[in-house]
A and B are shown apart, each in its own frame.
Chain A
Amino acid sequence: MTLAEQWVAFYTIVRKEIRRFLRIWMQTLLPPAITMSLYFVIFGALIGSRIGQMGGFTYMEFVVPGLIMMSVITNAYSNVVSSFFGAKFQRFVEEILVSPMSNNTVLWGFVIGGVARGLLVGLIVTLLSLFFTSLHIQHVGVTIAIVLMTSIMFSLAGFINAVFANNFDDVSIVPVFVLTPLTYLGGVFYSIDLLPDFWAGVSRLNPMLYIVNAFRYGVLGVSDVNVTTAFLMVGGFTIAAYAYCMYLLSSGTRLRQ
């Protein structure tokens, strides 16, 4: 296929992916909006007002970046895992497998679909947060870069999950039992400076801590961790996940008999 034809194929997948999550907005866009609004009301407005300052900011200001990032992560991941597994489950992944598209086109088509949903939900949550606090982004470049890299990384991770998933339980295991706990323990609701040294050390093993803090640095200008380390780590994981996805596609693992 020529480059122009690959572009058409890529655009076709991205368009289909975006139309898919917009068509089922009650399942994809509304739930995170409601959930995050509840977080803002309960943790930010009600409980937060009693907590006082955190890292030099009101509690609401402190939790907003983490909650936005949590939405981006779970939605980018969920979009790719559910869409690609659905295609496998109903076998219409074969439409893609018999076509002459390159593996890169297939992969990036699904990944950009995941990134689009992650960013759209992130934007919705950000707009909702403005009803509760004001955001003055300190480092625009850092903010955009970490959101983009993170949504790409988790879209790739969702793709890997979808390839190996055998049923719909396998699709929800990682978001429910891995992503959500790691995000909750990754400094969304607290600064690790509050933790005893041992637990602060353990927290530093949690990759979500770096992602949440890099984003918080972009928005608020403060971070519990070194932001360069965060970028290197997200970049490293993204490259590793991309390489593994390409291996899965080229070897046909779990896709071709």
Chain B
Amino acid sequence: MAIALQIKGLRKVYDNGFEALKGIDLEVTEGDFFALLGPNGAGKSTTIGIVSSLVKKTAGDVHVFGHSIQTDLAAAKREIGVVPQEFNFSNFETVWDIVVNQAGYYGLNRAVAGERAEKYLKKLGLWDKRDVASRMLSGGMKRRLMIARALIHEPRLLILDEPTAGVDIELRRSMWEFLTEINRSGTTIILTTHYLEEAESLCRHIAIIDGGNIVENTSMKALLRQLQKEVFILDTPEVITPDLVVEGFDTRYIDEHMFELVLKKGSSLNEVFAALNKQGLVISSMRNKANRLEELFVGLLNAK
């Protein structure tokens, strides 16, 4: 597999002296679905800004599919499609014009641009809005418009900076499906998001950035294996009391039909249900108290 994105010793010091990146190294393999996570101000957007050439680096190297952004910027740019965090299209242009003009900026003639615009606008549910001025679109439609625009030149690396921010659940799910489909067709995807369940369900590799440093960079599976415990919330139709005990597990009473149960690393759900069966306690439903990745994420940042 080729390396889609290679970052070495990347540093960024802004004019006001703030050091946003302190020499990070990162590698994303071709075909990967990669999560770049971190708290606000950690350096995620700066990293994406440098890769897409909107931010000037202070030091370090960035290669996109082998093309250096220092010496072969145009070739590197052709490989990248960027969906930024903020809306950045003309409010007065139509959806069609925004997408087709972007194709033109990449040298695609209008016939090809038109075919691709139709393909992506239909896939993203914007075809009916093609003649509408972008300012008239809802927030979710605007996000999808930015995705269509980023895909119009069919880049091999798609970078999405919080693409589902402010998007309702139904639309978010459909965007996940779309991104999964794009990734399956071979497009490498780098995603930043504050929705950790989004990263957990979509991404195969993850890097966590904090204070301008990469604090974790591993596969999602390896990261989740680090989880020492998981907390589940269980619902029961029976009436329970605060002195409820499940043998071998820590529990916490929530109300007369609900309690928390801590599953430590090494224990299995079978053991939980065996213990519950032994007590004759019927469980009608269960769910994670918090997203597993969220627990790790918070733990990693707190450990600093």
Contacts and interface: CB of A to CB of B under 8 A. Distances in A.
B53 A98 contact: yes
A8 B108 contact: yes
B107 A8 contact: yes
A6 to B, nearest CB: 7
Interface in B47-89: 49, 52-56, 73-75, 77-78, 80, 82, 84, 86-89
Nearest to B134: A92
Contacts of A23: 92
Contact of A91 (B49, B75, B88): B88
Contact of A256 (B55, B75, B89, B102): B55
Contact of B105 (A90, A101, A257): A101
A94 B90 contact: no
Interface string B245-278: 0000000000000000000000000000000000
B242 interface: no
Contacts of B91: 90
A87 interface: yes
B82 A98 contact: yes
A90 B109 CA distance: 26
Interface in A80-121: 86-87, 90-92, 94-102
Given A16-B101, A98-B80, A257-B54, A92 B90 contact: yes
B102 A8 contact: no
B106 A9 contact: yes
A97 B54 contact: yes
Contact of B54 (A1, A12, A98, A100): A98
Interface residues of B, number: 33
Given A12-B105, A98-B77, A256 B53 contact: yes
B75 to A, nearest CB: 7
Contact of B107 (A5, A90, A92, A95): A5
A252 interface: yes
Contact of A100 (B55, B78, B84): B78
A39 interface: no
Interface in A240-257: 252, 256-257
Contact of B77 (A86, A91, A92, A100): A100
B231 to A, nearest CB: 42
Given A95-B149, A97-B53, A1 B107 contact: yes
User: What is the interface of chain B mostly: helix, strand, loop, or mixed?
Assistant: loop
A257 B90 contact: no
B56 A99 contact: no
B105 A95 contact: yes
Contacts of B75: 100
Report which residue of A4, A96, A99 has the largest number of chain B beta carbons within 10 angstroms of its beta carbon: A99
B101 A257 contact: no
A252 B104 contact: no
A21 interface: no
13 contacts: A1-B74, A4-B107, A5-B108, A13-B104, A16-B97, A90-B90, A91-B87, A95-B88, A95-B89, A95-B101, A97-B54, A100-B73, A100-B74
Given A16-B97, A257-B14, 19 more contacts: A2-B107, A5-B107, A8-B107, A9-B106, A12-B105, A23-B92, A90-B88, A90-B89, A90-B90, A91-B88, A95-B102, A95-B105, A97-B53, A98-B53, A98-B54, A99-B106, A100-B107, A102-B74, A257-B56
- What 9 pairs across the A-B complex have the smallest Cβ distances? A5-B107, A12-B104, A99-B105, A100-B74, A91-B88, A100-B77, A257-B55, A8-B107, A94-B88
